[in-house]
Chain A
């Protein structure tokens, strides 16, 4: 099997005239094959995903306190949200968190992935070292660690002390508590970094060789080969880190002790959902909140997908 590769700069070849007929003939066959491939997912969908999802959607229109049967109340839960000041503040907190921490985290991840791709001794050690924080990111111990860094007597204040600046207790100050959680998220950039590394691994060597033969500088290679070919992975990380950040829960729960304090400054949206479900036993309202979050994430993700047409380049000639 030989392979001809067209350099990136030229547009993909238009489908050969004989193609449509073949594709149509293949369509019927692929339907069956597709469903064989998707069989595990379909089973999982019905049993594990769909039933709880539909149940929770139904619950969002009920008043359900977990201990007794749910009673139908229509859109009351959704209307309640509009007047709920804690709902709005948790929405705001989450939005700030997403808008700031996702780009920051991805920037670090991409930068370090590029540095650690190859060409340096001891790469495995560096990679493991930078990945290590991600392993701890959602553990119970993080609360203890974060207090050691940002607490009243913590590392940050000690460091500031050298410069004669007096620091406050960053975790207990409503204006800075959220920032400590943003730092926590950025600290765990190891996960997207590994994915970027995997993506870089997949970039074909011949393209770089061809470009070098053509006399392209290293920067030019980066801009014209690495970046475009990496866009599906960048897109993937962007989507999933965004969705993940909207749903961030454990860090806020662990660091604030489940309260979202001080003064609700770290009350992430999912933490609010959790409080409504597991503390107030207001499962109906919690379900409604969850579905609103889903709707928002869906809209934003759809937006990402629509925009992706303009900047994401796929190796397959589809789409």
Chain B
């Protein structure tokens, strides 16, 4: 890690502070050199990381039967056939699946933000007898592999006649069942000094006001992270959506993608890659947009 990495903007860099002795232009030159080196390194590493995706993007435009038999990165033929072929799955255009995934993702985000922050605040800040017990249960619920609880859970929802709706997928989000985010928020909240809470208490604020006016604003990076991850995981979640969504009109993107290619034959790989590429775009846009909020985070934790 070079010195530059850790410099905060606006703060004098080491070389500048020692700059009394060195002429300013060579300091600027060495900084430029470092920057170029860093960019080069990042770009090369980035290309290595992204090679599979680049391959996928190129292959999406190859005729389907050539994707696997002629797998070079330079295509010999280009076509939009894969997109045309893959656009309709089970009789519905992909827009429907995008829409379903979007509705699911947005509802999940709202559910998670509300329920997980409430739960995390209670577990991190409030003092009550059952706290350690509940925290333990939160952690344990993350540890059981999904396949063991899948069938009993499915039976519960089936008895309630809620299969083939979004309810089994959205309701848990409003009930803080995503222990990952509860735990994430707890860790973030614990990074916020208690003096702030105490100051608010001294001013006569109850737990809810402390939560709303003190903790929640300071948790912004955790909230943004939760939003990003919930969106992406919901967009990509396959198994849960597969078993609860049986008919095409409510299919989401991963279920539709699965129905494109049969594991028994390798026909249609091109279509799979094409539609996977398309389905990446919304999440990528979402991430690019949301991470700006991550950056614009609060640079001071105190209220002056």
- Residues in B neighbouring A34, C-beta threshold 8 A: 122, 126-128, 130-131, 207
Bound-state CA distance A294–B236 (Å) is 25
The answer, yes or no, to whether B109 is at the interface (CB within 8 Å) is no
1/0 per residue, CB under 8 A from A, across B22-55: the answer is 0000000000000100110010001001111101
By the criterion CB–CB under 8 Å, are A201 and B51 in contact?
no
By the criterion CB–CB under 8 Å, are A38 and B156 in contact?
no
- Residues in B neighbouring A131, C-beta threshold 8 A: 287, 291
Q: Which of A73-81, A99-107, A132-140, A165-173 contacts B (4 or more CB under 8 A)?
A: A132-140
By the criterion CB–CB under 8 Å, are A202 and B128 in contact?
no
Knowing A119-B4, A141-B56, A314-B191 are in contact, say whether A44-B128 is a contact too (CB < 8 A).
no
By the criterion CB–CB under 8 Å, are B38 and A115 in contact?
yes
Please pick, from A52, A140, A194, A270, the residue contacting B291 in the complex, using a CB distance under 8 A.
A194
By the criterion CB–CB under 8 Å, are A217 and B127 in contact?
no
By the criterion CB–CB under 8 Å, are B302 and A206 in contact?
yes
The answer, yes or no, to whether B144 is at the interface (CB within 8 Å) is yes
Closest to B194 in A: A316
Closest to A129 in B: B46
The answer, yes or no, to whether B83 is at the interface (CB within 8 Å) is no
By the criterion CB–CB under 8 Å, are A301 and B143 in contact?
yes
- Most A CB within 10 A of own CB, among B52, B261, B291: B52
By the criterion CB–CB under 8 Å, are A316 and B147 in contact?
no
For the complex formed, measure the closest distance between the CB of B7 and the CB atoms of chain A, giving whole angstroms.
6
The answer, yes or no, to whether A45 is at the interface (CB within 8 Å) is yes
Bound-state CA distance A5–B68 (Å) is 61
By the criterion CB–CB under 8 Å, are A144 and B269 in contact?
yes
Please pick, from B5, B128, B238, B304, the residue contacting A30 in the complex, using a CB distance under 8 A.
B128
Bound-state CA distance A202–B224 (Å) is 12
By the criterion CB–CB under 8 Å, are A153 and B71 in contact?
yes
For the complex formed, measure the closest distance between the CB of B276 and the CB atoms of chain A, giving whole angstroms.
4
Bound-state CA distance A212–B1 (Å) is 19
The answer, yes or no, to whether B91 is at the interface (CB within 8 Å) is no
- Residues in A neighbouring B14, C-beta threshold 8 A: 217-218
- Residues in A neighbouring B174, C-beta threshold 8 A: 40, 44
The answer, yes or no, to whether B177 is at the interface (CB within 8 Å) is yes
By the criterion CB–CB under 8 Å, are B156 and A317 in contact?
no
Interface size on B, residues (CB 8 A): 120
Please pick, from B38, B52, B141, B188, the residue contacting A145 in the complex, using a CB distance under 8 A.
B52
Knowing A132-B284, A233-B187 are in contact, say whether A145-B56 is a contact too (CB < 8 A).
yes
By the criterion CB–CB under 8 Å, are B304 and A2 in contact?
yes
Bound-state CA distance A115–B51 (Å) is 21
By the criterion CB–CB under 8 Å, are B8 and A208 in contact?
yes
The answer, yes or no, to whether A226 is at the interface (CB within 8 Å) is yes
By the criterion CB–CB under 8 Å, are B38 and A27 in contact?
no
By the criterion CB–CB under 8 Å, are A140 and B4 in contact?
no
The answer, yes or no, to whether B225 is at the interface (CB within 8 Å) is yes
The A260-286 residues at the B interface (CB cut-off 8 A) are 269-270, 273-274, 277-278, 283, 286
Knowing A33-B126, A153-B71 are in contact, say whether A195-B184 is a contact too (CB < 8 A).
yes
The answer, yes or no, to whether A214 is at the interface (CB within 8 Å) is no
By the criterion CB–CB under 8 Å, are B303 and A38 in contact?
no
Knowing A48-B172, A294-B144 are in contact, say whether A202-B297 is a contact too (CB < 8 A).
yes
Closest to A305 in B: B139
The contact sample of 13 A-B pairs, CB cut-off 8 A, is A1-B200, A33-B122, A40-B115, A41-B175, A45-B141, A52-B149, A56-B152, A115-B1, A155-B51, A202-B297, A218-B3, A232-B188, A243-B142
Q: A132-B50, A212-B11, A249-B145 are in contact. List 16 more A-B contacts (CB 8 A).
A: A3-B195, A115-B5, A126-B46, A132-B280, A132-B284, A138-B236, A139-B254, A140-B272, A148-B52, A195-B184, A204-B299, A205-B8, A270-B145, A290-B145, A298-B139, A315-B190
Q: Which residues in B have some Cβ–Cβ distance to A below 8 Å?
A: 1, 3-9, 11, 14, 35, 38-39, 42, 46, 49-53, 55-56, 68, 71, 114-115, 118-119, 121-124, 126-131, 134, 137-153, 156, 171-172, 174-177, 180, 182-184, 187-196, 199-200, 203, 206-208, 211, 218, 221-222, 224-225, 228-229, 232, 236, 238, 254, 257-258, 261, 263, 269, 272-273, 276, 280, 283-284, 287-288, 291-292, 294-295, 297-304
Q: Which residues in A have some Cβ–Cβ distance to B below 8 Å?
A: 1-5, 23, 26-27, 29-31, 33-35, 37-38, 40-41, 43-45, 47-49, 51-53, 55-56, 59, 66, 111, 114-115, 117-124, 126-136, 138-141, 144-146, 148-149, 153, 155, 187, 191, 194-195, 197-199, 201-202, 204-206, 208-209, 212, 217-219, 221-222, 226, 229, 232-233, 235-236, 239-240, 243, 247, 249-250, 257, 269-270, 273-274, 277-278, 283, 286-287, 290-291, 293-294, 297-298, 301, 314-319
